[in-house]
Amino acid sequence: MKQEKFFSLPTDFRARVRQCFNLDDAALLRIAYVPGPGELRDTYSYWKRGQPYPGKAIITYSEMFFDVVEALSAEALIIERGADRAEEMCADNCTFIRLSDIDYETPGAYWPQKQAITREIARHCEQFKPHILILGGEFYWPMLPRLAKSSERIVMSLHNMFWQIGRRPQSLKNQINFFVKKVLVGRYVDAAVAVSKTALDQFNEISPRKIPGFQSMHQLPSSYADVGEELARRKNQICYLGRIEREKGVFELLEAFCVAKSHQSDLAIRFLGAGRALDELREKAGATGFADDIEAPGPVDAADVYGALRESQLLVVPTQRAFAEGFPAVCAEAISQLTPLLVSSVVPAREVFGDAVMEFEAENSKNLAECLTLLLCDEQKLDDMRKAASDARAMLYDRSKSWGSALAQAIVASAER
């Protein structure tokens, strides 16, 4: 098994949880986990061998979930989503079920498919009868009562926000939506884990009663803890890391890059990641007249991520308002390599990393271009941001702040309610 554990556990963790469910020595605690899209089967095989998953540059939620399951000597049902359905797979005490992901492209498909996926999740939970259900992926909220009926406790893992920062929707439709969620949370949710303070604050705002909530912080492998001497960064090199999707703001960033390029002829950018908009991004980049200074190679592994961050002056996170992002892992990855962050106003990075972050107005490519030019022309400002990153990065290796630690606390809190 892996030498390093990525969590700290509450005192008498296993005994306290088992006692709450009146389990004798022969009985297995059952935990069901509904994550977002991912490759949990592959992650498990690496975790089992004691190796980090090479497809991610951070410690994944699934790795920490497997750690918690092991600490509890529990049986786990993992219901994941992927591009294609897959046959049920059993490995040790874990059963993996993969459902087809939601088709976000076909008009009118989203809600029917979301309901169908939630019905399948409910059906599997009814068969498994988990003591604890961890809901981390998308689901159809009106079906929460059915999920709760098959599960003794529900812990929500909040990876996105309920609304964008400072802009809670006030329309009648949204007010009804929040009212429904408030009723359902109050009746059926026992604890929550959130990836940012803002996400947890919003959860508390829609909760009609005090529900135990725990904030987590992305964690990185210890192998990245020592940056060593400041590496030579490529002057005027900026970087985007993440899914290549319209709602992630990649086209605003491309537009802003072209404006800033007119002021700084040696400016270059790398778009690293895969997504539905990759081909369109490449096509538009080729038509800018700056194609030689725009890279969009597609998906990259962890080594490429850290290599790109070490070379770049800035990481830009240009998320649009429509995407209520919880806390992008790329922000933590950048801070680990002392790379300053330029983020849109809907990304809650400044509340965590302080002066290592500069914000621009979301979906405003002109403001983004101005910020790019300002920062890249001010080496002292970049140095100050790197120093702030150096002060902040210790939390990325503090396992007591990990999602696994927060999940363990939430499990205990939900069990002891």
**pLDDT tens digit string along 48-88?**
998 888 878 889 999 999 999 999 999 999 999 887 777 78
Mean pLDDT of all residues in 358-372:
96
* pLDDT at residue 226 in the model: 64
pLDDT band at 229 (very low <50, low <70, confident <90, very high): low
pLDDT of 402 above 90: yes
- Give me the sheet containing 30-34, strands edge to edge: 86-91, 94-100, 75-82, 30-34, 132-135, 153-158, 191-194, 213-215
Between 229 and 123, where is the model more confident? 123
| DSSP H stretches of helix in 215-328 | 250-261, 278-286, 302-311
- Nearest Cα neighbor of 271 from 230, 242, 236 is 242
Q: Looking at the structure, give the CATH architecture of the domain made up of residues 13-219+398-415.
A: 3-Layer(aba) Sandwich (3.40)
**Lowest mean pLDDT, pick from 37-51, 64-78, 123-137, 337-351:** 37-51
How is residue 2 written in tokens?
């892996």
Same fold yes or no, 13-219+398-415 and 224-396: yes
Mean pLDDT of 354-365: 96
Which pLDDT value is given to residue 232? 63
Exposed / middle / buried, residue 243 (Cβ in 10 Å: 0-12, 13-18, 19+): middle
Looking at the predicted structure, is the pLDDT value of residue 3 above 60?
no
Query: What's this model's pTM, rounded to 2 decimal places?
Result: 0.91
Provide the pLDDT for residue 295.
Answer: 96
Nearest CA to 41 among 87, 1, 100, 101?
A: 87
Average of per-residue pLDDT across 96-125: 89
User: Using CA atoms, how far apart are residues 14 and 20, in angstroms rounded to an integer?
Assistant: 10
How far, in Å, CA of 276 to CA of 281, rounded?
A: 10
Q: Say whether pLDDT at 223 is over 80.
A: no
Distance CA 105, CA 118 (A): 19
pLDDT for residue 120:
95
Greater confidence (132 vs 165) lies with 132
Residue 4 has pLDDT above 90, yes or no: no
- The pLDDT value given to residue 231: 58
218 pLDDT exceeds 90?
Answer: yes
Taking the domain 224-396, which CATH number applies? 3.40.50.2000
Rounded to the nearest 10 degrees, the angle between the axes of helix 365-376 and helix 379-392 is 90
Per-residue pLDDT of 282-325, as tens digits, reads 999 999 999 999 999 999 988 889 899 999 999 999 999 888 77
Indicate the domain borders of the chain.
Answer: 13-219+398-415, 224-396
Nearest to 95, CA basis, from 72, 83, 73, 79: 79
Confidence of residue 1 (pLDDT cuts 50, 70, 90): very low
pLDDT of residue 27 exceeding 50, the answer is yes
Mean pLDDT across the chain, nearest whole number?
Answer: 92
